[in-house]
Structure 1
């Protein structure tokens, strides 16, 4: 029996994993049946909602409320077992939480005989390469160090080629051992799914991180969830101002209603974006921040409130 290839698409919060998976789903052939496992740190799964509403191809399995590398590991194993029981999948794509590690996810996949682990891909937000906060984050560093293939994302936000080369040079000074693993062109993603990585190379990579570091767990982060009635109207400019001026938010996302209709909202250190989306049952905003910054979110509550234009009855 042929084993089912499993691709782990990892990367820190807001690096573009979900966008990449959407592109893969658009390009896959109709005769392939994929299962998509989406793991979100918080209890609200915005990413799985986005993939469901944007693509009719692939079955989505949600694991919310913790990272599958630690607090949600049991649910992850159950999901993989459920996928195998449902049968006939030609590929499994796993998107771990942006706060999750790679090695434990890989170990669970390796425990199941019917599955074959393919190259572990890690996306790196090019706009965050010089951010001291991101450079020092142990979760991000571990994700990069343990990946088989590295791909820069958000290169469209750094249009100047010389600037891209400068940022690439800075990144390789931080991770000189990963120079051979770096793929500069993210349009090649579909061609990278089936590359074989020698088991010896993968084992050596994971042995470097065989001991779980206390900083490599999701317990150091908190989620704040705001929910508003569907009649609440937001000003995207005011909401962007609140997020862009905050010093403690790592990631923000959700669905909001504006004067121009419903939008998928995304915040990363590179800024805020708003994309038109289908009508939702309610406004939802999810914010992730470090636990040490949790006391400061009251200021953001005011900013979110200030962004409300009106509430229609």
Structure 2
């Protein structure tokens, strides 16, 4: 595909967030800061077939807004997004670009697409922003969803919207959330009425320290340092005295529920275990902290996944032994 863009790389901001978090309100406020002589562009993605958010943005000269309707540009085929973005760049030659994925999107996947080699000379990725609704942080049914967690983990900056409506319970939940996500080294901002200065988010995208690699047992015979994107894979990352080890495994893999539960309960010296698995008892989510082991039925996931957080060097642990034990829990191990 031929890509035509402005002579220099364009700063690109991804504004992510769960449904109703306040992404469009924040985006409108950011757009109001456009210098008069510049042209800014917005690529919006709505899950439905009728676009609404585009009508809420400025329509005057100096702005170019394009919508992708139906589906998710993060998860579906890359081609519609690639074409729409290429056309937007070539037709408007913007000085700055904002991308607002649907609230049902996985921004990390979109970021992977936009950091591919063929975009690097055209796009200058800035810190990925995820907006969370501060007034709903007390609602555990809302905040424990896997997609919500995915969007938080992908963020370099987390903008807490509706800060003026937060209750004491929300403030307490925010403190707990910050503690939970310490290993991801994010910058948290509290925002009232969408008020955020563009300079607060106009910082370089730092990339991820979590390199995805083949499963540990596969690395005994394969290239150990191969960075991959397809399932299955594992990663380990450390920051600020914390470590996170994670695995993502194909959705078609089915696990014995009680074997899996026993394995997780046997682990020691961890701070948090979170996962969702396709089991012979249906889809199950696990949310363990040192005070309470919670597990329950869950909605069908997009894959099997687990993360374990420790307050020590994860590299010193025998992750191969854990992974082998995890694979022994598979019901469909012949696949």
Asked if these proteins are the same fold (TM beyond 0.5), I'd say yes
Give the equivalent residue in structure 2 for 1:49.
Answer: 55
- Segments of structure 1 that go 5 or more residues without pairing to the other structure are 217-289, 293-313
Native 8 Å contact 1:126 1:167 kept in 2: no
1:198-213 paired onto structure 2 within 5 Å: 198=206, 202-205=207-210, 207=212, 210=229
Q: From the superposition, tell whether residues 12 and 84 of structure 1 become closer, same or farther in structure 2 (CA, over 3 Å).
A: same
Give the equivalent residue in structure 2 for 1:71.
Answer: 76
SS at match of 2:76: coil
Establish whether residue 139 from structure 1 lines up as the match of residue 144 from structure 2: no
Cα separation, 1, equivalents of 2:250 and 2:154 = 16
Native 8 Å contact 2:42 2:65 kept in 1: yes
Give the equivalent residue in structure 1 for 2:94.
Answer: 89
Q: From the superposition, tell whether residues 24 and 215 of structure 1 become closer, same or farther in structure 2 (CA, over 3 Å).
A: farther
Cα separation, 1, equivalents of 2:185 and 2:202 = 20
Cα separation, 1, equivalents of 2:143 and 2:87 = 37
Superposition deviation, residue 63 in structure 1: 0.4
- TM-score, reference length from structure 1: 0.60
Superposition deviation, residue 211 in structure 1: 5.2
Give the equivalent residue in structure 1 for 2:17.
Answer: 11
Higher relative contact order (CA 8 A, sep 6+): 1
Write 1 or 2 for the structure with the bigger share of helix. Answer: 1
Larger Cα Rg: Structure 1 or Structure 2?
Answer: 2
Native 8 Å contact 2:157 2:201 kept in 1: no
Q: From the superposition, tell whether residues 15 and 189 of structure 1 become closer, same or farther in structure 2 (CA, over 3 Å).
A: farther
Q: From the superposition, tell whether residues 94 and 80 of structure 1 become closer, same or farther in structure 2 (CA, over 3 Å).
A: same
- Segments of structure 2 that go 5 or more residues without pairing to the other structure are 1-6, 214-227, 232-247, 252-297, 301-335
SS at match of 1:39: strand
Give the equivalent residue in structure 2 for 1:232.
Answer: none
SS at match of 2:152: helix
Native 8 Å contact 2:16 2:129 kept in 1: yes
- TM-score, reference length from structure 2: 0.57
Mean alpha-carbon deviation: is it higher for 124-133 or for 3-12? Answer: 124-133
Task: Name the count of aligned residue pairs.
Answer: 213
Native 8 Å contact 2:138 2:170 kept in 1: no
